[in-house]
């Protein structure tokens, strides 16, 4: 990793009163310190979907038509990959072929477009990530030791 910036060195020195610890221990300790996330509301991200979320919107006739297509395997693979664009294309083809109604098409596309709060968002973030834009590593600590 590249040498830490002067600002990073100053940040580390201001928060490292116990220089008797190893570089790795100090990095771990500073990385474990948290502050309030500057992003105060969890961002919206695409909601994962399953085949049943899509096919559950179909009546028996549409289900039979869709499952009767040889491309159903490719459609299932695209669902497993969460490929929203590819799934949207398959759904558009199903509508164009008359396999699904316009309202079923609209409902299925809504599933692909659905979002929810990012489950990985946290109200607290590591202090170095907030202050420096990244976590610290032992090399950052070594370069920041007084007298180095």
In this prediction, residue 16 carries a pLDDT of 80
In this prediction, residue 3 carries a pLDDT of 79
In this prediction, residue 143 carries a pLDDT of 92
Averaged over successive runs of 10 residues, the pLDDT of the chain (148 residues) comes to 83 88 94 95 97 97 96 96 98 98 98 97 95 94 86
**Per-domain boundaries in the chain:** 6-40+123-144, 44-117
Task: Give one DSSP letter per residue of the chain, joined into a string.
Answer: -PPPPHHHHHHHHHT---TTS-HHHHHHHHHH-EEE-SS-SPPEEEPP--HHHHHTTS-HHHHHHHHTSTTHHHHHHHHHTT-HHHHHHHHHHHHHTTSS-HHHHHHHHHHHH-EEE-TT--SEEEHHHHHHSS---HHHHHHHSTT-
In this prediction, residue 2 carries a pLDDT of 66
């Amino acid at each position: 990793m590249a040498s830490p910036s002067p600002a990073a060195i100053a940040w580390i020195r201001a928060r490292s009163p116990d220089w008797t610890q190893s570089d790795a221990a100090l990095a771990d300790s500073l990385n474990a310190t948290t502050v309030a996330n500057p992003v105060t509301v969890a961002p919206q991200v695409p909601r994962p979907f399953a085949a049943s979320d899509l096919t559950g919107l179909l009546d028996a006739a549409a289900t039979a038509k869709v499952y009767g297509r040889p491309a159903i395997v490719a459609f299932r693979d695209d669902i497993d990959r969460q490929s929203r664009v590819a799934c949207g294309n398959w759904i558009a083809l199903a509508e164009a072929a008359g396999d699904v109604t316009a309202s079923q098409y609209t409902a299925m596309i809504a599933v692909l477009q659905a979002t929810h709060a990012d489950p990985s968002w946290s109200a607290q973030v590591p202090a170095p990530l907030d202050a420096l834009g990244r976590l610290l590593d032992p090399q950052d600590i070594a370069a920041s030791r007084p007298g180095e």
